[in-house]
């Protein structure tokens, strides 16, 4: 699972806010000076175009770097504070997925815009823990990995921002909000899915989407048992300024306890003051989102449809004709693309809280969904 930490905006009026994860420290309001120029090809006066521009068969023809990169790297790690932070997650992505995408879309000598232009990259471990023994579990799911980077606490597969004992662990989004920053959560999956959920909820099982599943899978978290409720109920209580993704189907469930008992989660969202939008057109019409009227975009009953239609990788050793990825007919003009949702979130959050700053998590979830189906498109 690869992710990108991006600083956005100027370097003034910062609020120190540091979150230590298991193997990574994020300084939310101080993670560097502005990076590459708008063309994605220069930083600190150094050319960083990662395209292999020569004749590939000649010596040095595939070279992607030219000249001393010290200035570009130093520019990316200056200690001046950034006002805003965007955490971009390619769920299920590793170097092989990026290599496949690069080869298909831009060619072996080409570059993925943005991703290949970063002057500095790094890695950190994502192993989870066995719930019973506390020993490392080397096959990590999105819930445990997301909980680790969101809270700084290693936990078991299936846990959503709780430790091995089921105790809630404070998240980056919660810390940012407590420090007066605007907050956002964007995904192409259901909003209740593991990666978006780790920022806004604390439950012992990742499938506790609504009151019905919570009563069965994590009863200690159920509202009728004195808990904080399902992932969806906690998402509404967390009250991020901007929340965009899928998962509308769960909002038809009914609360079982508390102030909103016997009312649907959709009705609860409206009573809590959320503005709900259901299409790309409605999203484009939104000009403000804040704590007075937070934005809740729900663009599918479940996960958002993928842009490309489904394809299946050819089994090893089999021979098949080359294929091109085809558009998915289920992806219509009503569905916003991830880039559209991200641009909307950046604009809305940048104007919220008098421009004090924001934290935004963005997940490209379809990579993982497709990988589980051996779908290269």
Residues taking part in catalysis: 142
By residue count, the chain amounts to 377
| Alpha-carbon gap, residue 377 to 375, rounded angstroms | 6
Apex CA 376: angle with CA 193 and CA 304, to 5°? 35
Which alpha helices (H) appear in the chain, and where do they start and end? 70-76, 95-105, 142-151, 172-178, 194-197, 211-217, 231-238, 265-271, 280-284, 338-351, 366-372
133 token code pair: 């023994």
266 CB contacts (<8 Å, ≥6 apart)? 248, 251, 252, 276
Residue 267: how many other CB atoms lie within 10 Å: 15
**Beta pairing, strands 182-190 & 358-364:** parallel
311 CB contacts (<8 Å, ≥6 apart)? 323, 325, 326, 375, 376, 377
Q: Residue 245 in contact with residue 187, Cβ under 8 Å?
A: yes
What does the radius of gyration of the chain's CA atoms come to, in whole angstroms? 21
Q: Whose CA is closest to 253, among 266, 271, 240?
A: 266
Helix (H) or strand (E) holding 318: none
């Amino acid at each position: 699972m690869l992710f990108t930490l991006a600083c956005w905006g100027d370097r003034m009026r910062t609020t120190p806010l540091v979150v230590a994860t298991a193997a990574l420290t994020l300084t939310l309001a101080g993670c560097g000076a502005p990076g590459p120029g708008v063309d994605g090809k220069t930083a600190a006066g150094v050319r960083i175009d990662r395209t292999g521009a020569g004749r590939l068969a000649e010596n040095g023809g595939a070279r992607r770097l030219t000249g001393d990169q010290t200035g570009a790297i130093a520019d990316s790690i200056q200690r001046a504070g950034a006002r805003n932070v965007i955490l971009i997650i390619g769920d299920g992505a590793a170097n092989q997925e990026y290599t496949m995408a690069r080869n298909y879309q831009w060619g072996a000598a080409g570059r993925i815009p943005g991703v290949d232009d970063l002057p500095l990259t790094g890695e950190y471990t994502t192993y989870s823990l066995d719930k019973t023994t506390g020993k490392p579990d080397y096959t990590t799911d999105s819930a445990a990995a997301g909980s680790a980077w969101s809270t700084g606490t290693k936990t078991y597969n299936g846990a959503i921002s709780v430790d091995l004992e089921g105790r809630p662990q404070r998240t980056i989004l919660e810390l940012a909000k407590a420090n007066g920053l605007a907050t956002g959560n964007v995904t192409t999956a259901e909003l209740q899915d593991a990666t978006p959920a780790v920022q806004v909820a604390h439950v012992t099982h990742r499938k506790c989407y609504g009151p019905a599943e919570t009563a069965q899978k994590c009863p200690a978290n159920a509202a009728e048992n004195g808990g904080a409720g399902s992932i969806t109920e906690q998402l509404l209580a967390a009250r991020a300024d901007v929340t965009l993704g899928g998962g509308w189907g769960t909002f038809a469930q009914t609360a079982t306890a508390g102030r909103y008992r016997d009312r649907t989660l959709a009705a609860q969202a409206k009573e809590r003051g959320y503005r709900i939008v259901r299409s790309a057109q409605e999203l484009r019409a939104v000009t403000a989102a804040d704590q007075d009227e937070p934005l809740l975009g729900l663009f599918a009953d479940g996960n958002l449809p993928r842009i490309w239609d489904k394809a299946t990788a050819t089994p090893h050793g089999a021979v098949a004709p080359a294929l091109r990825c085809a558009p998915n007919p289920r992806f219509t003009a009503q569905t916003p693309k991830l880039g559209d949702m991200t641009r909307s979130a950046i604009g809305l959050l940048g104007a919220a809280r008098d421009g004090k700053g924001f934290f935004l998590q963005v997940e490209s979830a379809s990579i993982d969904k497709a990988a589980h189906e051996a779908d290269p498109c």
